[in-house]
Chains A and B, each alone.
Chain A
Amino acid sequence: MIEADVCVIGAGAGGAVLAAELAEGGADVVVLEQGPSHDPDTFTARPPQMLARLYREAGQTLTLGTPPIVLPLGSGLGGTTLVNSGTCFRTPPHVLDRWRADFGLPLDSETLDRCFDRVERALSVSEVTPELAGRNAAVSLRGAAALGWSHGYLRRNARGCVGSGVCAFGCPTSAKQHTGITYVPRAEAAGARILTGVTVRRIEVRSGRVHAVHGVHGRRADGQRAEQIEVRAPRVVLAAGTIHTPLLLAANRLGAESGQLGRNLSVHPATAAFALMDEVVDMAKGVPQSFYIDQWASDGIMFEGIAGPPSYAAASLPLQGERHAQAMRSYRHLAQLGLMVSDSSRGRVRAVAGRLGRGRMGARVGRGRMGAPLITYDLDAADLSRFRTGLQHMRELFLSAGAREVYLPVPDGVAPERVRAKDLRLMAFHPLGTARADADPRSGVVDGDLRLHGLDGLYVADGSVVPSSLGVNPQITIMALATRLAYHLLERPCPS
Chain B
Amino acid sequence: MLRALDEFIAATPQPQRAGVRAVLALARRPRGAALLDRVPPLAQVGRALAGMDRYEDPAVARSLGWDADAVVARGRALRRAEGRP
Contacts and interface: CB of A to CB of B under 8 A. Distances in A.
Interface of A: 40-41, 43-49, 51-53, 57-58, 60, 62, 68, 160, 162, 164-166, 171-175, 181, 185, 282, 284-285, 309-317, 320, 324, 328, 331-332, 355-358, 411, 425
Contacts of A314: 48, 51-52, 54-55
Contact of A172 (B4, B5, B66, B74): B74
Contact of B60 (A58, A160, A310): A310
A356 B13 contact: yes
A320 B79 contact: no
A49 B61 CA distance: 15
Contacts of A175: 84
Contact of B56 (A47, A160, A166): A47
Interface of B: 4-5, 7-16, 37, 40-41, 43-44, 47-49, 51-56, 60-61, 64-66, 68-69, 71-72, 74-76, 78-79, 82, 84-85
Given A45-B68, A166-B71, A310-B55, A57 B13 contact: yes
Contact of B7 (A45, A49, A425): A49
Contacts, number: 138
B79 A317 contact: no
B72 A310 contact: no
Nearest to B78: A173
A231 B24 CA distance: 45
Given A40-B85, A162-B74, A356 B51 contact: no
9 contacts: A45-B75, A48-B8, A62-B16, A173-B79, A309-B55, A311-B51, A332-B64, A355-B14, A356-B13
B11 A52 contact: yes
Given A315-B52, A320-B43, A324-B51, A357 B13 contact: yes
A404 to B, nearest CB: 18
Contacts of A45: 68-69, 71-72, 75
Contacts of A164: 71, 74-75
Given A47-B52, A160-B78, A324-B51, A52 B7 contact: yes
B72 A44 contact: yes
B72 A43 contact: yes
B74 A173 contact: yes
Contacts of B64: 310, 328, 331-332
A351 to B, nearest CB: 15
A356 B14 contact: yes
Contacts of B60: 310
Given A160-B84, A314-B51, A48 B4 contact: yes
B15 A315 contact: no
Contacts of B76: 41, 172
Contact of B13 (A60, A162, A171): A60
Contacts of A181: 85
B79 to A, nearest CB: 5
A175 B71 CA distance: 13
